Amino acid sequence: MIKSALVTAALATGAWAARPFLNEPDTGIQLALPDLTVGELPPLDAMVGLPDFDYAARNYLPIRNYTYYRNGAGGEWSYRNNMEIFHQFRFRPRSMIDISNVNQTLKTTILGHEFSAPFFISPAARAGYGHPDAELNLVKAAGAQDILYMPALYATKTIEEIAAAKKEGQVVFQQLYLDSTADDEITKALFDRTEAAGADAIVFTIDSAANGNRQRAARFDVGSAFVSYEAYSWEYYDKVRNMTDLPIILKGIGSVEDAKLAVEHKVPAIILSNHGGRQVDGSQSSLETALEIHAEAPEVFEQIEVYADGGVRYGADVLKLLALGVKAVGLGRPFMYANVFGQEGVEKAIELLKTEIAYDAGNIGVPDVSKIGPEAVNWRTGFCGFGGGKPQGPR
Ligand SMILES: Cc1cc2nc3c(=O)[nH]c(=O)nc-3n(C[C@H](O)[C@H](O)[C@H](O)COP(=O)(O)O)c2cc1C
Ligand SMILES: *[C@@H]1O[C@H](CO)[C@@H](O)[C@H](O)[C@H]1NC(C)=O
Ligand SMILES: *[C@@H]1O[C@H](CO)[C@@H](O)[C@H](O)[C@H]1NC(C)=O
Ligand SMILES: *[C@@H]1O[C@H](CO)[C@@H](O)[C@H](O)[C@H]1NC(C)=O
């Protein structure tokens, strides 16, 4: 009786609502690794997609280490939504199109710097929780694979140690948290240090003005690194941008209003992000923010470079963000998990994602990834799933 009532309820609210959340959808990794023991690192060969690295890291790392990476804020609704939202919107494949060169169209420029793919390694603190060489693996893998790396200020290795591991000419954007209550000399010194280390841009994270409520992390004492309530403002941005010659990108834009203000304040680029769902539970995903901008101020995508991160686990996810006008897409956790295998693991994750992007673009009839447009996706599928709400965004 209970079972059939549940089935009826599930049918009534739509099949999507009834699906359990899957941190990694079951694609057979447990069947492929029947003898894996707890604490053991599976062979790198067994990793065939980015979610596999989450499985491997969870099995291999001490619970405290894994929890630091895996954690989201509150009930982790935003963490889950970041991943699930991509599957609300489905492609509108086109066929009979010559896509034979699609794998040569992944190259992109980010603030004028050339990279081999339209995705980057988002800044994530404490890579030492996954591997003793920490961020050195990430910077080397990014260099070898010719993608952008954004080292975090709260990295295990110092800014200088990470810079020393760059290959000749490698571009990195340094993430910083700024203390708005500190003396200007302190902020200036941090900028000078960043410039001296050879960073090509500063990524100022603005979505963490207060601490995150991190329940999972609190259980294992790996909670938030911050303690203050910040006094950020656009005047503050206007002031600090004058303290350095480096472009200052804003990371953590979550609404069309702030995207428009960033344009007004001549911010060179913004990263749509809810911090991987780690700061405020219930914040919309970057795909939802991109849809909001597309519906209400699509010119923003032309006026400044817009990047986005959060929940990206597949090539198809990357394509959905690019379809709205996002120029490059960041990933945090997948690369931190891949780092348990060292540089080789991070490189494998990068290669897998490049291949997925090319295959998926080819199969939906997009011959040039850099030219994908909103018509590649049926944006109505998702909003119909939200209880018949008014469809928004491009149809
Ligand atoms: C373990 C961890 C640490 C992070 N540390 C920072 C940080 O120091 N600065 C920052 O701007 N973002 C930080 N982030 C957020 C990431 O830059 C990025 O927005 C987020 O991880 C994207 O979501 P994803 O993990 O689902 O890809 C961190 C994320 C994780 C998972
Ligand atoms: C693209 O795929 C072809 C095989 O169709 C391969 O020869 C070529 O090396 C690939 N190029 C890139 C940039 O991956
Ligand atoms: C777990 O994190 C600690 C730092 O807190 C680090 O010393 C240790 O090496 C990490 N364990 C693994 C397996 O990477
Ligand atoms: C920043 O510098 C520019 C050009 O030097 C100047 O016009 C502007 O007033 C300065 N802004 C602030 C807030 O100091």
pLDDT tops 70 at residue 385? no
Cα of 65 vs centre of ligand 3, distance in Å, is 6
Residues 6 or more apart in contact with residue 150 via CB below 8 angstroms? 120, 121, 122, 123, 172, 173, 174, 175, 203, 330
Give the tens place of pLDDT for each residue, 291-320.
Answer: 999 999 999 999 999 999 999 999 999 999
What ligand 2 atom has the least distance to the C-alpha of 104? Answer: 13
- State whether the beta carbon of 65 lies less than 6 angstroms from ligand 3: yes
Cα torsion 9, 10, 13, 17: sign: positive
Beta bridge partners of 269: 305
Cα torsion 101, 102, 106, 107: sign: positive
Q: Are 210 and 230 in contact (CB under 8 A)?
A: yes
Q: Are 232 and 265 in contact (CB under 8 A)?
A: no
Q: What is the pLDDT of residue 20?
A: 74
Read off the pLDDT of each residue in 258-279 and give the average, rounded to a whole number: 98
What ligand 2 atom has the least distance to the C-alpha of 101? Answer: 1
Using a 6 Å CB cutoff, which residues line ligand 1? 68-69, 82, 122-125, 152, 154, 175, 205, 251, 273, 275-276, 278, 309-312, 331-333, 336
Give the tens place of pLDDT for each residue, 243-267.
Answer: 999 999 999 999 999 999 999 999 9
Beta bridge partners of 148: 120
- State whether the beta carbon of 130 lies less than 6 angstroms from ligand 3: yes
| Tokens found for residue 271 | 């990263």
CA-only gyration radius of the chain, Å: 21
Give the tens place of pLDDT for each residue, 202-226.
Answer: 999 999 988 889 999 999 999 765 6
Which one of 101, 102, 104, 108 would you pick to mutate in the ligand 2 pocket, going by the greatest count of ligand atoms within 8 A of its CB?
Answer: 104
Cα of 102 vs centre of ligand 2, distance in Å, is 9
pLDDT tops 70 at residue 384? no
Using a 6 Å CB cutoff, which residues line ligand 2? 103-104
| Tokens found for residue 18 | 């009834």
Q: Residue positions in the annotated binding site for glyoxylate?
A: 68, 177, 214, 275, 278
178 pLDDT band, cuts 50/70/90, is very high
Residue with CA closest to ligand 4 atom 12: 239
Q: Are 172 and 150 in contact (CB under 8 A)?
A: yes
CA geometry: angle 22, 336, 214, nearest 5 deg: 65
Q: What is the pLDDT of residue 21?
A: 77
| Tokens found for residue 363 | 């199969």
Read off the pLDDT of each residue in 233-247 and give the average, rounded to a whole number: 98
CA distance to 88, 122, 127, 313, 336, per residue, from 316 (Å): 12, 18, 26, 8, 20
What ligand 4 atom has the least distance to the C-alpha of 238? Answer: 13
pTM value? 0.93
pLDDT tops 80 at residue 18? no
pLDDT tops 90 at residue 16? no
| Tokens found for residue 338 | 């891949």
In 3-state terms, what secondary structure has residue 108?
A: strand
Give the number of other Cβ atoms within 10 Å of residue 154's Cβ.
14
Give the tens place of pLDDT for each residue, 30-79.
Answer: 999 999 999 999 999 999 999 999 999 999 999 999 999 999 999 999 99
Domains of the chain: 102-207+230-381 (3.20.20.70)
Type of residue numbered 224: S
What ligand 3 atom has the least distance to the C-alpha of 129? Answer: 2
- State whether the beta carbon of 128 lies less than 6 angstroms from ligand 3: yes
Residue with CA closest to ligand 4 atom 6: 242
Determine whether 371 is exposed, middle or buried from the number of CB atoms within 10 Å of its CB (0-12, 13-18, 19+). Answer: exposed
pLDDT tops 70 at residue 9? no
pLDDT tops 60 at residue 394? no
Catalytic (active-site) positions: 275
The overall average pLDDT reported for the chain is 92
